[in-house]
A and B are shown apart, each in its own frame.
Chain A
Amino acid sequence: MIEIRELTKRYGGTVAVDGLSFEVRPGAVTGFLGPNGAGKSTTMRVLLGLDAATSGEALVNGRRYVELRRPMREVGALLDAGAVHGGRTAFDHLRWLARSNGIGTRRVAEVLERVGLAGVARKRAGGFSLGMRQRLGIAAALLGDPGVLLFDEPVNGLDPDGVRWIRGLMRGFAAEGRTVLVSSHLMSEMELTADRLVVIGRGRLIADTSVRELADRFGRGVVVRSPRPAELTGVLAAAGGSVEAAADGALTVTGLDVADIGEHAAARGIPLYEVRPRGASLEEAYMRLTGDGAEFGAVAP
């Protein structure tokens, strides 16, 4: 269980996180989404006690992270896969981490086995590929067999096999009843991994919803084009649909399906140029949600 309450973090004059509140419950994978610079990593860093909150609080299992006595037994975190001393072997890297939380050496061998690094345990981490470092980071997160797992952009730089492996791993953790929070800037990835979504932009909460709700909210409706849009709007509204007009003259109708719309239009003799169910992907939904929230928006020429 993770609780973020009215969290604000300022770096000098820059507000990275601005009054953010949300909860992450056990038994599900929660995707933490937002464009680059939205405040995802900052939120995670405050949650882990790396950065101090300007105001508000971030709690793990009801307590601040710094109050946890053996934190790795409660929370496993993958923050930055590159954060390994290149001169240390994979085994030594995990061994000092394990020692700091009173975890035995046998567990080190176990997690190395689990992430598939047992064969290179005695090799220096400096020679590891990004994918191997990512696996080493996940092994570190698993050392204390924690009930809460935090992954910051875990699939960055992974090949398709690695991506699928991590996806399965996270789904497995959630199925075991653990709390899993995964940050990403890729909606397409979260669509496949997450059950719930927390979407932020410019440090503020944009949406706290399930993947299904979000798809329904943005994915439904029928796009209709007609030379007589005003008349058609009246007809469809009278038939119980709600109609939104876009700038290009297309109407988005919800509450009526393609057949309804065709029949109502035919009954009044209104010509239709196009009738198609809108297939908005979550990707589009996400783009629309975060359109104003992106920190560095590119301007079209």
Chain B
Amino acid sequence: MRDVVAAEWCKLRSIRSTFAVLSVAAGCAVLTWLIAFQAARAFDGLSPARRADLPLRPIQELGPWIAGLCLGILGVLAATSEYRSGTIRASLVAVPRRGRLVAAKAVVVAAVALAAGEAVTLAAVIGTRLAIGGQPFTDQTGSLCQDLPAFAVEGTSVAVFALLGLALGLLLRSAAGAITIMVFLWHIVPLLAFHLPAPWDARTGSVLPGALATQAAGLDADDSIYGDLLAPPVAAAAMAAYALLPLCLAALLFARRDA
């Protein structure tokens, strides 16, 4: 198994799309700094009443949010690039035990996504704090150490999206289809759910993959399009389910289908 994981790691870092996707994720962290800098300048000219309505947290959350899509696409490509190039047959000739191949891919994709997710999230949080230069945003009054654990939980959502992407890639074997479904789950479905009549908007909005990390961290949804009806342990379990159930289904089908 160690050999197979090492081989998958070799594969992932020897193609350019991996670095393209990671660069975009890193770029979005920088983007949050710029937006925070802009927000801080706007903050200056606001009345105290308006200031209370301008939180910094939504800007910080852009980090893990965009990284989730980027690494989700990385997960998709980890599977579909093999089908597109035909290397899937070379992979299966080298590693004929298919469950093992899927497990190795999942380990590598999850590890990279977790590392990238946490890096982007922490960079967004710390960077935006520095960018506002001590402006008293209402949601930034606590110390960084108090806020970080919640953000670290949000960073794990990136790995959930990556594993979801890997499962979709294995199931559909086509990047176009799998990425379309990824984007739907990531943003289109939440937008649609937001417009459902109450109480279904909050109910649906609470169980979507993008809503779970905030709930698992024990935070409110505030003004976001998501709901916050789940208790933290339930939300954490739902995250694990999003990451693993589609992947198990994909692994089952992958083991049965002709390559």
Contact = CB atoms under 8 A, between A and B. Distances in A.
Q: How large is the interface on B (under 10, 10 to 19, 20 to 34, 35 or more residues)?
A: 20 to 34
Interface in A62-115: 65-66, 68, 71-72, 75, 77, 79-80, 82-89, 92-93, 95-97, 99-102
Task: Describe B's contact surface by its main secondary structure.
Answer: helix
Interface stretch (B5-13, B113-121, B171-179): B5-13
Interface string B74-94: 000000011001110111111
Interface in A218-235: none
A77 B86 CA distance: 14
Contact of B85 (A52, A65, A86): A86
Contacts of A71: 93-94, 96
A50 interface: yes
Contact of B7 (A51, A68, A86, A97): A97
A49 interface: yes
Contacts of A170: none
Nearest to A80: B86
Given A72-B94, A79-B93, A80-B89, A87 B7 contact: no
Contact of B10 (A45, A84, A99, A140): A99
A100 B96 contact: no
Interface in A252-271: none
B14 A96 contact: yes
Contacts of B82: 85
A84 B85 contact: yes
Contacts of A85: 15, 81-82, 85, 87
Contacts of A48: 92-93, 96
Most buried by A among B10, B11, B93: B93
A100 B105 CA distance: 12
A65 B97 CA distance: 10
Interface string B243-259: 00000000000001011
A96 B96 contact: no
8 contacts: A52-B256, A68-B96, A72-B93, A84-B85, A87-B14, A88-B11, A92-B14, A93-B14
Interface of B: 3-4, 6-8, 10-11, 14-17, 81-82, 85-87, 89-97, 256, 258-259
Interface of A: 11, 45, 48-52, 65-66, 68, 71-72, 75, 77, 79-80, 82-89, 92-93, 95-97, 99-102, 140
